[in-house]
A and B are shown apart, each in its own frame.
Chain A
Amino acid sequence: MPDLFLATEDWQAIALTARLAAVTLLILFVIGVPLAWWLARTHSRLGSLVSALVAVPLVLPPTVLGFYLLVLLGPQGPVGRLTESLGIGLLPFTFPGLVVASTLFSLPFVVQPLQASFAAVSERMLEVAATLRAGPFDTFWHVVLPLSRPGLLSAAVLGFAHTLGEFGVVLMIGGNIPGRTQVLSIAIYNRVEAFEYAHAHLLAGSLLVFSFIALLALQFINRAVSTTPAMLRGGA
């Protein structure tokens, strides 16, 4: 008789997954917003190079990306040696390691929609703001960001959802350790490998409901915010 209640291990996995997606999304925005803005405005060759680099996780199979990260961040890898000499220790098989990996592989999902919506903000709008004596930061905060809200929202949705459902990279870099790096997608895999299909369905269902509620909440937030016309909120 399969036991149809979530075990401690499952709750741990759910909490871990929520924490991972939240932290990753936060970091993705801190990095992604300035990066996307620069990519949307730059004409240098370096821009194309960085654009291509950011898109690499879209092309590489997740396990391959995970493997490269494992080698790079491991005790013999250059980044691993650096983190060890800095006293941070090694990142693979730890929660911070998962955050680093998730940030990298979700980066294109955040940067690309942001870049597209930043690029759609016309130069003219920025010039008008400048003639009204808005500084660059002021313009960005009060003109560009409100105008790019759809892009911000899809970046948030894609970044969050992609982190939530990722499997290959986190299995490789995290090592499937209960309570530490065992996220929901991996917990489902474990149940399937153990022939506990009813339990696997239950977890998969939880993931579905959880993602759906998160995405729905984002839609509601967007709806609530968009009732205030963007241009009126600008303080320039």
Chain B
Amino acid sequence: MRRFLCCLTALLMIPSAPADDVLVAVAANFTAPMKEIAVSFERATGHRARLALGSTGKLYAQIRNGAPFEVLLAADADTPEMLERLGLAVPNTRRTYAIGRLALWSPDPERVDPSGRVLVAPDLERLALANPKLAPYGRAAEQTLKALGLWETLKPRLVIAESIAQSYQFVASGNVPTGFVALSQVMRGGRLLSGSAWHVPAYLHAPLTQDLVLLRPGADSAAAAALVKFMVSPEARRVIDDYGYRVPP
């Protein structure tokens, strides 16, 4: 019995983290650019950013229930604001680090024209978008179609995905020929990875602002403060721009 308990204790032991690490909760859609930024962050400051990914809603639930995250990079502006109101974030540390861009995309290089006229083409059978009630990019797609006066006409042909990731999967897998996706899903290094796309002009929908905030557990951490600062550095902004986001002025 004692040996069993010893084994159990040994198995439960957790290696502790070095002092100058910062634990960052990252909205899943920002994973790829953040991995790149984390590398330059370590090179520039010596601090290491450890990334914990999840959807913004899930991260919010975890932070409310005592998660040890020090910085949150949310996919919206509301969540950081709510956390500040609840006293779970350090006041006056919220700032916009990226602005999402909506794209109408198809893996077929011929399908989508640069001004989005494909939306009024009679052969547009189905059109994918994320659920406007659940996903900010879905809401932006709905606003765009409404602004263009096409919402009612296209409504019967819409395929509603649960998230923007699923909308992308519907289109990328060829199940739906065209769909609204996040530009960051199809763009790398300032260029389209494949297919054809219409970059939806920003004035057609409310801005897809992504805010960050310093959380309570990171209040006194030098590494956390350094990361918040680094996110708006020219180096980070270049990466964010490369991945198809607009950077805040």
Give the B-binding residues of A (Cβ under 8 A): 19, 22-23, 26, 63, 67, 70-71, 73-77, 80, 90, 92-96, 99, 171-172, 175-180, 182, 189-190, 193-195
Chain B residues near A22: list those with CB within 8 A.
11
Main secondary structure of the interface of B (DSSP, over half): mixed
Is B146 interfacial (CB 8 A cutoff)? Answer: no
Q: Does A94 lie within 8 Å of B14, measured CB to CB?
A: yes
Please tell me if B23 contacts chain A, counting CB pairs below 8 Å. yes
Residue of B at shortest CB range from A189? Answer: B53
Q: Give, as a whole number of angstroms, the nearest-CB distance from B145 to chain A.
A: 27
Known: A172-B58, A178-B52. Contact between A194 and B66, CB under 8 A?
Answer: no
User: Are the C-beta atoms of B15 and A190 separated by less than 8 Å?
Assistant: no
Sorted nearest first, the 4 A-B pairs with minimum C-beta distance are A74-B65, A193-B31, A176-B52, A194-B31
Known contacts A95-B14, A172-B58; is A193 also within 8 Å of B53 by CB? yes
Closest to B165 in A: A193
A177-B29 Cα distance, complex, nearest whole Å: 17
CB pair B65 A70 closer than 8 Å? yes
When A23-B12, A95-B12, A180-B14 are in contact, do A175 and B62 touch as well, CB less than 8 Å? Answer: yes
In the bound complex, what is the Cα–Cα distance between A126 and B68 (angstroms)? 53
Would you call B50 an interface residue if the criterion is a C-beta within 8 Å of the partner chain's C-beta atoms? yes
- Chain B contacts of A180 at CB under 8 A? 14, 17
* A–B pairs, 10, beta carbons within 8 Å: A26-B8, A63-B58, A75-B65, A93-B66, A171-B54, A178-B50, A178-B51, A179-B15, A179-B17, A194-B31
Is B68 within 8 A of A171, CB to CB?
no
List B contacts of A190 (CB < 8 A). 31, 51, 53
Interface residues of B (CB under 8 A from A): 8, 11-12, 14-15, 17, 23, 25, 28-29, 31-32, 35, 50-54, 58, 61-62, 64-69
Which of B8, B32, B35, B52 is within 8 Å of A177, CB to CB?
Answer: B52
Shortest beta-carbon distance from A174 to chain B in Å:
9
> Complex Cα distance A92/B14, Å?
14
A199 to chain B minimum Cβ distance, whole angstroms, is 11
Minimum CB distance partner of A73 in chain B: B65
Min CB–CB distance B215 → chain A (angstroms): 13
Chain B proximity of A123: nearest CB distance (Å): 31
For B25, the chain A residues whose CB sits under 8 A away are: 175
A171 to B29, CA, bound (A): 16
Q: How far is the CA of A195 from the CA of B79 in the complex (A)?
A: 25
Cα-based distance from A206 to B8 in the complex (angstroms)? 26
Residues of B within 8 A of A70 (CB): 61-62, 65
Q: A75-B65, A171-B58 are in contact. List 10 more A-B contacts (CB 8 A).
A: A23-B11, A26-B8, A63-B58, A74-B64, A76-B65, A77-B65, A93-B67, A99-B12, A172-B62, A194-B32
- The answer to whether B67 and A175 have CB atoms under 8 Å apart is yes
* List of A residues within 8 angstroms of B14 by Cβ: 94-95, 180
Query: In the assembled complex, how far is the CB of residue B206 from the closest CB belonging to chain A, in whole angstroms?
Result: 25
Query: Do A175 and B12 touch (CB < 8 A)?
Result: no
Q: Are A75 and B52 neighbours in the complex by a CB distance under 8 Å?
A: no
Task: For A178, give the chain B residue with the smallest CB separation.
Answer: B50
The contact of B53 among A19, A75, A176, by CB within 8 Å, is A176
B103 → chain A, closest Cβ, in Å? 16
The distance in angstroms between the C-alpha atoms of A13 and B81, with both chains bound, is 33
Q: Name the residue among B12, B29, B58 with the largest chain A CB count within 10 angstroms.
A: B58
Q: Which residue of A lies closest to B30 (CB)?
A: A193
Residue of B nearest to A176 (CB): B52
What CA separation (Å) do A90 and B217 show in the bound complex? 14
Question: A92–B31 contact, CB under 8 A?
Answer: no
Nearest chain B residue, comparing its CB with the CB of A91: B66
Contacts of A23 in B (CB 8 A): 8, 11-12
Beta-carbon contact of B32 and A193 below 8 Å? yes
A75 touches B66 (CB 8 A): yes
Give the Cβ gap from B32 to chain A, nearest Cβ, in Å: 5
